[in-house]
Amino acid sequence: MGGSFIDDDWESGSASHRARTVVLVGRTGDGKSATGNSILGRKAFKSMNSPDGITSTSELQTAVLEDGQIINVIDTPGLFNKSAEPQLVGKEIVRCIDMAKDGIHAVLVVVSLSSRISIEEAATVETLQKLFGDKITKYMILVFTGGDDFEEDEVDFDDYLSRSESIKGMLEICGNRWVLFDNKTKNTAKKAEQLKQLLSLVDDVDKKNGGKPYTNELFVEFQISKAAAKLRDQAKELNSLEGYSKEEKIEREVQIYQSYEEHLARSTDMVETKLREAATHELEQRLAEEQDARLKAEQTVRETRAKSDNEICELRQNLERSQRVAEQLKKFGKNLGCHIM
């Protein structure tokens, strides 16, 4: 795991040499690790091509780009897969926050074009929004992987984007910031161009957010737990301090350790609670949609039944009318002396 490389230029706002941290999120297998490797210019993250390629825990890697910019890239497991356990997701998010330390400059939502873009991809964006608030959407950039497949099929990409309701929804949330990536290309000019486009979007995000990376109360809570961790480490030095009894040193060490554990547990609890709220909200929303659909279906059945009742009634009236006419005709025929069936 690397660190965050904030240097002196950071405060003065010089974009050229300050470190920026981007986080890759998305469904398992959508190309997060491959995109991370394209950004870093080396095979730093294991991609699915390798036998143990499924990312199981978040990882940070750093690169110095050609123009001297330092970029920290955090690769994450499929945090928002439907099967993901909230408890594990909570721990992973806390781990990410630990790695991002000073905040996140952009959230790269990776979406593969080779699989059908589904509700699950849209859910990634929505869950992030529910978990971290609307503010996070100002940092989001959609990265579509599988650009090579698109070129082969000669499909117009803008047209493709406008045809999918899921994509349109995601684009709207992400402020229409997107880039198409081909992680398979060997063409150096193409590699450089797609990276340039992505970094330019990161620049836009940075400017729009006044150069402030994303942080929230979780980061604050985590910073406190980090401070407590520092104290815990310092506690080891207590032994060398003069003027304290052995009991006092042990008591202080226990206090410091507990403080660290409590803050860490609080950060994890906060994430878990938020995740559960998001899941409950989603469930409630789905139930409401289902109820709505059921009510509409019942209404349609009622209307259809009422319509058919009317039709039956009308048919019956027509039949009675025809019978009456037939009776009259019969009488009329008798009067005339001919036989009508």
d(CA 260, CA 292): 48
| Nearest CB to ligand GTP, comparing residues 53 and 211 | 53
Of 24-32, 61-69, 220-228, 296-304, the segment contacting ligand GTP by CB under 6 A is 24-32
Contact with ligand GTP (CB under 6 A) among 2, 9, 17, 28: 28
Q: CA-based Rg of the chain, rounded to a whole angstrom?
A: 32
HEC-encoded secondary structure of 27-52 = CCCCCHHHHHHHHHCCCCCCCCCCCC
Burial class (CB in 10 A: 0-12, 13-18, 19+), 261: middle
Q: Which helix (H) or strand (E) holds 57?
A: none
| Nearest CB to ligand GTP, comparing residues 31 and 103 | 31
Least distance to ligand GTP from the beta carbon of 45, Å? 7
d(CA 52, CA 182): 22
- Fill in the amino acid letter for 160: Y
Say which DSSP state 7 is in: -
Comparing CA positions, the residue from 114, 109, 122 lying closest to residue 167 is 122
Site membership for ligand GTP, residue 21 (CB under 6 A): no
Contact with ligand GTP (CB under 6 A) among 49, 83, 245, 335: 49
Least distance to ligand GTP from the beta carbon of 9, Å? 31
The helix/strand/coil state of 67 is coil
Least distance to ligand GTP from the beta carbon of 64, Å? 22
Please enumerate in sequence order all residues whose Cβ is within 8 A of that of 87, keeping only pairs 6 or more positions apart, or say none: 272
Binding mask 284-313 for ligand GTP (x = CB under 6 A): ------------------------------
CB 157 within 8 A of CB 122: no
Least distance to ligand GTP from the beta carbon of 57, Å? 10
| Nearest CB to ligand GTP, comparing residues 155 and 227 | 155
Please enumerate in sequence order all residues whose Cβ is within 8 A of that of 262, keeping only pairs 6 or more positions apart, or say none: 228
The string of DSSP letters for 208-245 reads HTTTPPB--HHHHHHHHHHHHHHHHHHHHHHTT-SS--
Site membership for ligand GTP, residue 31 (CB under 6 A): yes
Site membership for ligand GTP, residue 178 (CB under 6 A): no
Of 99-107, 182-190, 198-206, 331-339, the segment contacting ligand GTP by CB under 6 A is 182-190
Region 50-79 residues binding ligand GTP, contact defined as CB under 6 A: 53-55, 77-78
Region 140-159 residues binding ligand GTP, contact defined as CB under 6 A: 145-149
Of 31-39, 201-209, 298-306, 308-316, the segment contacting ligand GTP by CB under 6 A is 31-39
| Nearest CB to ligand GTP, comparing residues 184 and 226 | 184
Contact with ligand GTP (CB under 6 A) among 59, 182, 221, 272: 182
Structure token digits, residue 41: 């210019």
Contact with ligand GTP (CB under 6 A) among 4, 29, 94, 109: 29
Of 42-50, 65-73, 93-101, 186-194, the segment contacting ligand GTP by CB under 6 A is 42-50
Burial class (CB in 10 A: 0-12, 13-18, 19+), 250: middle
Least distance to ligand GTP from the beta carbon of 105, Å? 20
Least distance to ligand GTP from the beta carbon of 157, Å? 13
Residues that bind ligand GTP (CB under 6 A): 26, 28-34, 47-49, 53-55, 77-78, 145-149, 181-184
